[in-house]
A and B are shown apart, each in its own frame.
Chain A
């Protein structure tokens, strides 16, 4: 069964299909969420919220694009909800940063854009990650990162400027 077929079965109320979808996607979603929040509990809760939402809203999937990407769109927003509800602010911080040369990814060439991104400060990178890579709105990014929306905008502008200069 493909993921899209699983979603159709979930739409018909088949819990087994949800379980299979969870089995396929929970591990990588959890890993990716953990890169957005260091709070283990928040990540676990957001992950569960995601599949509960899928159970209720499976029919919202329009059959366009990867199911995985659609799931991530839900997961990151559930994480934002959880972060917002949580009283104690926790910000994702990259714990250890390796040099790009140390990382061997078979076949991947980082290219100029990757080099440009590597120059960004963690604050700017976090905004680029939220707004560009995760596709969040300014307001959503602000909630996730716990900074004002104005700051998201200025940081994104600055990040783009730095990357443009790197690429020029």
Chain B
């Protein structure tokens, strides 16, 4: 390169007061000359603002690693993107799950042995419900617009996100479970089956209601039912109850399948 642009010409270029032939040669030069590109003046606040916009879109999950890993495993790009940006993978959700489960585990252990393990069993199954209910929607989802234009239907998307949320919750649950002083007759399934049943019921209700509403109804119903059962001395977590949870999960799955066409793009999952 035998010549370089002078700064006054660059200034006129930026202000748009330059004739188009000079603009064209200046542009051609800028595209190939690093030194002259550095001469383009810019506002630092503007640059930061622009970068923040980019950063907010490339790392809503904290990193692109998840997305890349899924991509390497053969998951299609748009699916990987949606899984990666779902709030379940965001640090805040993970932290909340850890905190709540930890709290519930400690709370159940702080009292007489065997007395309050039920605290954990009441609270922990709600976590995936909350995750699913709020994993989807304009308010909480930084990628909502991306989601709406993705070539993927609403139900599949909801199932994808549910899977992600469940994976996170179950992992944390597995870690927390040994801390809970539950009777030895109760296995991890005492937490897992209610969690699955509640989550699937949320999905089933989502065919008719917005997901957040479905989640709220399930959570409210669960809490009321548990308070009622515990105050009356019913055992809500024995083997018979677990069979009931599995049955509820199966019923909910059947409803989701039967009403799969009602999860339209613009409709229920809002």
Q: Which residues of A contact B (CB under 8 A)?
A: 13, 15, 18-19, 22-28, 30-32, 34-35, 44, 47-48, 51-52, 55-56, 66, 68-69, 72, 94-100, 102-108, 110, 114-115, 117-118, 125, 129, 133
Please name 16 further chain A to chain B contacts, defined as beta carbons within 8 Å, in addition to the given A13-B68, A100-B19, A103-B18, sorted by A numbering.
A13-B64, A19-B55, A26-B50, A26-B51, A34-B14, A48-B50, A48-B53, A52-B54, A52-B58, A68-B37, A99-B19, A103-B9, A105-B26, A110-B25, A115-B21, A129-B24
Q: Does B139 contact A (CB under 8 A)?
A: no
The answer to whether A66 and B54 have CB atoms under 8 Å apart is no
Contact B63 A15 (CB under 8 A): yes
Cβ–Cβ contact A106 & B19, under 8 A: no
Question: Bound state CA distance, A125 and B23, in angstroms?
Answer: 12
Name the distance in Å between B165's Cβ and chain A's nearest Cβ.
23
| A66 near B18: Cβ-Cβ < 8 Å | no
With a cutoff of 8 Å between Cβ atoms, the chain B residues found around residue A15 in the complex are: 55, 58-59, 63-64
Q: Which chain B residues border A35 with CB–CB below 8 Å? A: 13, 16, 23, 27
Q: Which residues of B contact A48 (CB under 8 A)?
A: 50, 53-54, 57
Q: Is the CB of A25 within 8 A of B64?
A: no
8 nearest interchain CB pairs? A107-B3, A27-B42, A103-B22, A55-B58, A51-B54, A114-B21, A28-B40, A27-B40
Across-interface contacts of A100 in B (CB, < 8 A): 19, 21-22
| Chain B residue nearest in CB terms to A107 | B3
Residues of chain A with a CB closer than 8 A to B28's CB: 133
The one of A22, A96, A104 in contact with B8, judged by C-beta atoms closer than 8 angstroms, is A104
- In the bound assembly, the distance between CA atoms of A72 and B26 in angstroms comes to 14
Is the interface on chain B under 10, 10 to 19, 20 to 34, or 35 or more residues?
35 or more
The smallest C-beta distance from B22 to any residue of chain A, in angstroms, reads 4
Q: Inside 8 A of A56's CB, which chain B residues have their CB?
A: 58, 64, 77
Contact B9 A69 (CB under 8 A): no
Q: Is B47 an interface residue (CB 8 A)?
A: yes
9 contacts between A and B (CB under 8 A): A44-B53, A48-B53, A51-B58, A68-B30, A68-B31, A98-B17, A105-B9, A107-B2, A118-B20
- Does B265 interact with chain A (Cβ within 8 Å)? no
Decide if B20 touches A94 in the complex (CB within 8 Å). Answer: yes
Residues on the B chain within 8 Å of A108, using CB? 3, 22, 25
Complex Cα distance A22/B12, Å?
23
Contact residues in B for A106 (Cβ distance below 8 Å): 3-6
CB <8 Å contact, B54 and A28 = no
| CB within 8 Å for A31 and B3 given contacts A97-B19, A110-B21 | no
- Tell me whether B95 is interfacial, beta carbon within 8 Å: no
Please name all residues of chain A whose beta carbon is closer than 8 Å to the beta carbon of B34 when the two chains form the complex.
68
Give every chain B residue within 8 A of A95 (Cβ-Cβ). 16-17
Query: In the complex, are the beta carbons of B24 and A133 less than 8 A apart?
Result: yes
Complex: A96 Cα to B12 Cα, angstroms = 10
What's the least CB distance linking A106 to chain B, in Å? 5
